[in-house]
């Protein structure tokens, strides 16, 4: 364990964890938009920036990307400098996604609501380019998404903007998107996403649609997977274990 100081409080943290993780264990909230605990951090939104003092030098780092390696590190998660930086970032994100409720809440928190510059916003909501959907898609094994174009034209797309051959319609991208930008619709046993249509599998116990057939086949390596949703599977396993204990 390493002794560090966060916001004036001494604490002991495991070597190698990030400042963001350490702050979380201390109940200190640092805002993020491109961070997910199950995926590698990319630092693309920079909202989690904090100030550190190390060997007498102050500097700004991204807390999601900064592993704590040495004792004596001092972290300041919020001060005027950080407030200014985060306010600027929130303004930039709002330019891309002006109607997103979580960004609007951050704007209120940082006192930047009703700034004159907001009047010139185009009201078109766009992706904030956090990259979470791409990472989630890679983690699922599909790698069907990537960034295309540059500057203002930059966006997330499937290869050549065509329906992807590797997309299984799992919907992880839509679920993880922090501004609900990705369109996914489930209707009458069919899922529409990224220009593709997927039939949804029905759970044999509860009867609910729960996944696409392609997603199940990719996850199980079986073209004829068992049609059982996660909840019913857990209940069935618990029942079998319970039965085993009772009769064993």
Residues of this chain that bind ligand SF4 (CB under 6 A)? 127-133, 156, 176-177, 179, 181-182
Give the Cα-Cα-Cα angle 192, 195, 199 (nearest 5 degrees).
35
CB of 190 to ligand SF4, least distance (A): 22
CB of 135 to ligand SF4, least distance (A): 9
Helices marked H in 60-123: 80-96, 101-109
Closest to 127 (Cα-Cα) out of 98, 169, 170: 98
**Is 90 or 132 the residue whose CB approaches ligand SF4 more closely?**
132
CA 118 to chain centre: 26
Let me know: does 20 contact 52? Beta carbons within 8 Å: no
Let me know: does 6 contact 23? Beta carbons within 8 Å: yes
Let me know: does 208 contact 231? Beta carbons within 8 Å: no
CB of 15 to ligand SF4, least distance (A): 31
Q: What's the rounded Cα separation, in Å, for the pair 17 and 210?
A: 35
CB of 33 to ligand SF4, least distance (A): 8
**Is 13 or 179 the residue whose CB approaches ligand SF4 more closely?**
179
Let me know: does 177 contact 133? Beta carbons within 8 Å: yes
CB of 248 to ligand SF4, least distance (A): 47
**Is 48 or 127 the residue whose CB approaches ligand SF4 more closely?**
127
**Is 42 or 235 the residue whose CB approaches ligand SF4 more closely?**
42
């Amino acid at each position: 364990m390493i002794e560090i100081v966060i916001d004036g409080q001494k604490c002991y943290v495991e070597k190698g964890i990030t400042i963001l993780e350490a702050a979380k264990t201390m109940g200190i909230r640092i805002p993020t938009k491109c961070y997910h605990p199950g995926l590698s951090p990319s630092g693309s939104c920079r909202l989690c920036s904090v100030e550190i003092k190390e060997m007498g030098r102050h500097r700004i780092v991204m807390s999601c990307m900064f592993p704590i390696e040495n004792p004596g590190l001092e972290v300041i998660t919020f001060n005027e400098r950080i407030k200014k930086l985060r306010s600027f970032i929130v303004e930039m994100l709002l330019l891309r996604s002006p109607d997103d409720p979580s960004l609007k809440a951050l704007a209120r928190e940082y006192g930047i609501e009703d700034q004159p510059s907001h009047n010139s916003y185009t009201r078109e909501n766009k992706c904030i380019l956090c990259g979470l959907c791409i990472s989630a898609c890679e983690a699922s094994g599909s790698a069907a998404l990537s960034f295309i174009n540059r500057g203002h034209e930059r966006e997330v797309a499937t290869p050549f903007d065509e329906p992807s051959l590797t997309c299984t319609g799992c919907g992880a991208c839509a679920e993880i998107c922090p501004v609900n930008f990705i369109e996914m619709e489930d209707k009458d046993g069919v899922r529409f996403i990224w220009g593709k249509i997927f039939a949804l599998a029905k759970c044999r116990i509860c009867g609910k649609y729960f996944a696409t057939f392609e997603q199940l086949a990719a996850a199980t390596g079986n073209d004829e997977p068992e049609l059982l949703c996660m909840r019913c599977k857990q209940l069935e396993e618990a029942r079998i274990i319970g039965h085993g204990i009772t009769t064993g």
